[in-house]
Amino acid sequence: MKVRVSSPFLTELVRGALLLGKFDLDMEWKGWEIEVDREVVRNALERAASLAGEDKLMRIGNDKKPLAAMLSNCLGVNKEVEGLKEFLELAVQNLDKLEGCGEAEASKLAISKAEYYENTKTPMMLGSNEPVGDALTIALGYAGTVWNLGNVRYPGGDIASFFLVPVTLNADAYNFLMKRLDRGKEKGKKRLLPSYVTYEWALTLWMALNFDVKGVFRVLFVERGNKVYVKPSMTVDLSAEREALASVFGGDLERVDDPLNYVLNNVLSDQPDALAVRFVSALYQVAHHAMPPVDLKAFGLREYASALSTESSQVDFVVRQVGRVAQLVKV
């Protein structure tokens, strides 16, 4: 089956969906096109449907008319469909019709138009001014939205969806991500995501600590308003980042989990403490061999010692958590 994409964002979603169809899929893109076995596409749509839960289709107000036309012309459905699971199940049931439907109204859907602009940090993210999205590609794009783990905020209040899309996928990573997507099991234990995206290096450490998974991932931040807009995004090797962070603490992240999560979540908030920011920045440098561990330990313990006499304020509590983390740094 021929899959054609129209934008870098849609490419990432389609890639993430196809990996659900076959973990070790070797994708050979020819420009904006790729040939994929029918069984891989079917598996991708079925697996995505099983993971969709109560998620809604990712769309904006202007999508209503072209989505209705696609449902009618390509899936034989003359009713409004809002749920992602229902849409994907219909796509599986009507795969032949979907493949032969062509572009129809699909190119008018926002998911096919999202582009990365001048803020993009990933070399391939150049965007396209001529969106071309056939119905099959759009269905796979919607399937790829199951990698949306929730919402985060930016300083200033903008809300963006947080996508963790695999570049490579294996059974271990798949099982881990399935647990993350089952939001109900995680609630009440830890935050699924930090509150704010303030510093990329802090977010990288947060993911390294909280995402115990091997592989390389695209981290996409998607804002929806009058259009689907993809903010500056990241590519992260979580295997390497977690190993680098663990090395700072002698390979043991379990002991440092609680205090370090507190400090990281403080930095990734709307009012980060200045000391926490400095300490996490230094921690990132140590993990990436830009600073000796002894300097980080001395810095944290020095701040901790100066706060031992006070216990009342939140700032003091932050300092104490910094001290707890510093005590566990291996020198």
The confidence score (pLDDT) of residue 217 equals 92
Dist CA 190 CA 42 (whole Å): 34
pTM recorded for the entire structure: 0.86
- Spatial neighbors of 51 by CB under 8 A, at least 6 apart, are 20, 146, 178, 181
At 170, is the secondary structure helix, strand, or coil?
A: coil
Q: C-alpha distances in angstroms, 187 versus 64, 179, 182, 183, 274?
A: 32, 11, 9, 6, 29
User: Are 172 and 230 spatial neighbours (Cβ–Cβ below 8 Å)?
Assistant: no
Dist CA 284 CA 232 (whole Å): 20
DSSP code for 33: E
At 34, is the secondary structure helix, strand, or coil?
A: strand
User: Are 133 and 112 spatial neighbours (Cβ–Cβ below 8 Å)?
Assistant: yes
The confidence score (pLDDT) of residue 122 equals 42
User: Are 279 and 292 spatial neighbours (Cβ–Cβ below 8 Å)?
Assistant: no
Name which of 180, 170, 220 is nearest 13 in CA terms.
Answer: 220
pLDDT by 10s per residue, the chain, length 331: 888 776 788 888 999 999 998 877 777 777 677 888 899 999 999 999 988 888 888 877 677 888 888 888 888 888 888 899 999 999 999 998 888 886 655 667 777 776 533 334 443 444 444 545 688 889 999 999 999 888 899 887 788 899 999 887 777 777 877 776 665 444 444 457 899 999 999 999 999 999 988 889 999 998 876 667 788 789 999 999 999 999 999 999 999 999 999 999 999 999 999 999 999 999 999 999 999 999 999 999 998 887 776 555 545 789 989 999 999 999 9
Indicate the Cα dihedral angle 14, 119, 225, 47, nearest 10°: 20
Dist CA 69 CA 198 (whole Å): 40
- Spatial neighbors of 66 by CB under 8 A, at least 6 apart, are 105, 106, 108, 109
The β-bridge relationship of strands 159-166 and 148-153 is antiparallel
Dist CA 329 CA 9 (whole Å): 39
If you write DSSP's letter for every residue of 171-211 in order, what string do you get? HHHHHHHHHHH-HHHHTTTS-SS-SB---HHHHHHHHHHH-
Max CA distance (Å), the chain: 73
At 115, is the secondary structure helix, strand, or coil?
A: coil
User: Are 142 and 158 spatial neighbours (Cβ–Cβ below 8 Å)?
Assistant: no
Q: Which amino acid is at 307?
A: A
